Structure 1
């Protein structure tokens, strides 16, 4: 918490200083050359923030997100290079970075999938959507985890451009009703742990990737898998899950 507060203070002070310099330049109190230098280089702030997020993701109890951090650092660096004419890249060219989606899914498979299987658990990441698990939530890049003890399950409609989701329903308070869960995005790694006594139905789709629900696996280029537990129709306490990703690794297990 202290390091995060310190970062906030540093960024806030830099932004205040930047704003003051630009105001002085507008009134010709300082030369336009200084404001031009600031205008070209201020995205370096985003590079610093992105690198901090990236580093914190690999340090215990520091939060952060390696996907969000690396994307922000790369994007801001390209903007700076574009400002100096090294590359033809500006703030509006963010969509040109879509191949990073493939890089992220590949790196995740190489660096994290094997590691998580060996350890039998995943790194816990706090989901920062204003603590509203039952609310709609959209984010471009981010990793989200629902694994706290006695977390309250509510209907969900979640979308992420690039990110991982981890649901541990064995630790959740699940109401005696049919709870709808929808998770969509471009690139994602989705893991769900189900208790033995919970009935559920899943509709999972991934254009590229792997889908495995208990002992069933999807095959083919555009992979789809529908699964329903034996007592789903009769149960009052159950989950109805819809997962839809362009590139995804989807797995649901019972424990």
Structure 2
């Protein structure tokens, strides 16, 4: 997936850069002062990558992640501020950001349907279950990608506190029946790519953000957009999709 590729490229670049700087310092080409400047400011690279990842989540249906991009930018910014003594935070202090989990849990209780676990268990970060023929997935933070070759479309209900969704139905096996898909979340983006020959219906709402389904758009605050293909009512093979976000963009394209 794109996140794994980005991590691999970033790690490779950092290892190469660290090796080059150490060699240049050891043979006297760069001074200790320059090394200190590099050591203090190299996390700026992470800030740039995080911000690009954040922006790409709004512009590119196949790339970026709002959650992980913003987290990387925030984390790297704290490291830079720590390097300059503005606050006490180092590269190894990433675990000090664990209270963000409490924020996600709090947002879950505020904006997600209030339900108690029947067995009285504690809150889980991720919940996967099957209810009848429908697969359920609840997560507080994370990105979800459905773009593997020949992945199977099944009835699905998903909720995420902070997270992005990407569905590429052009690569999917879509059964000859009506397949319902429901996506809900507090903050995130939903991107879907539809093949030309599939019938579908989209019922999308977003409290804050933009909705675009093919050539139809809805902008502003508290909006709803309903779209269905002309052959939806008669089609045997079709998708019925419900999308609801508090904050985020929804975009459906066709190829």
TM, length-normalised to structure 2: 0.52
Aligned length: 160
Confirm or deny: 8 A CA contact 1:68 1:141 kept in the other structure.
Answer: no
Find the counterpart in structure 2 of residue 205 from structure 1.
205
Question: In structure 2, what is the Cα distance between the partners aligned to 1:154 and 1:242?
Answer: 14
**Distance in 1, Cα, partners of 2:105 & 2:143:** 19
Give the equivalent residue in structure 2 for 1:152: 152
Pairwise CA distance, 1:98: 7.7
Cα–Cα, structure 1 residues 185 and 176, in superposed 2: closer, same or farther, change >3 Å?
Answer: same
2:102 to 75, 79, 94: 94
Instruction: Name 1:221's counterpart in structure 2.
Output: 221
CA distance in 2, matches of 1:90, 1:215: 42
Shift of the 134–237 alpha-carbon distance from structure 1 to 2, 3 Å rule, reads same
Find the counterpart in structure 1 of residue 181 from structure 2: 181
Q: Indicate the SS of the match to 1:138.
A: strand
CA change 1:148–1:228 in 2 (3 A) is: same
Query: 2 CA distance for matches of 1:93 and 1:129?
Result: 15
Offset at residue 131 of structure 1 (A): 11
SS in structure 2 at match of 1:135: strand
Secondary structure at the counterpart of residue 170 of structure 1 = helix
TM-score (norm 1): 0.52
What RMSD, in angstroms, separates the aligned Cα atoms of the two structures?
4.1
Q: Which runs of 5+ in 1 are unaligned?
A: 4-50, 59-64, 82-88, 100-127
- Structure 2 segments unaligned to the other structure (5+ residues): 8-45, 54-64, 79-87, 89-96, 108-125
Partner in structure 1 of residue 91 of structure 2: none
| Residues 203 and 226 in structure 2, CA contact (< 8 A), matched pair in contact too | yes
Mapping of residues 1-255 of structure 1, within 5 Å = 67=67, 71=71, 94-95=102-103, 135-255=135-255
Structure 1 position 67, deviation (Å):
2.5
Q: Equivalent residue for 1:118?
A: none
Q: Secondary structure at the match of 2:239?
A: strand
Shift of 1:134: 5.2
Distance 2:100 2:170 in 1: 43
Tell me the distance in 1 between the aligned counterparts of 2:203 and 2:139.
22
Cα drift, residue 92 of structure 1: 9.8
Could you say if the C-alpha distance between residues 94 and 174 of structure 1 is closer, same or farther in structure 2, counting changes exceeding 3 Å?
Answer: same
Which secondary structure does the structure 2 equivalent of 1:67 belong to?
Answer: helix
Deviation at 1:248, TM superposition (A): 1.2
1:130 CA drift (Å): 7.5
- CA 163–91 in structure 1, closer or farther in 2 if over 3 Å, else same: closer
1:21-58 alpha-carbon deviations (Å, 9 max, x no partner): xxxxxxxxxxxxxxxxxxxxxxxxxxxxxx9xx99xx8
Tell me the secondary structure at the aligned position of residue 94 of structure 1. helix
Structure 2: how far apart are the matches of 1:169 and 1:175? 12
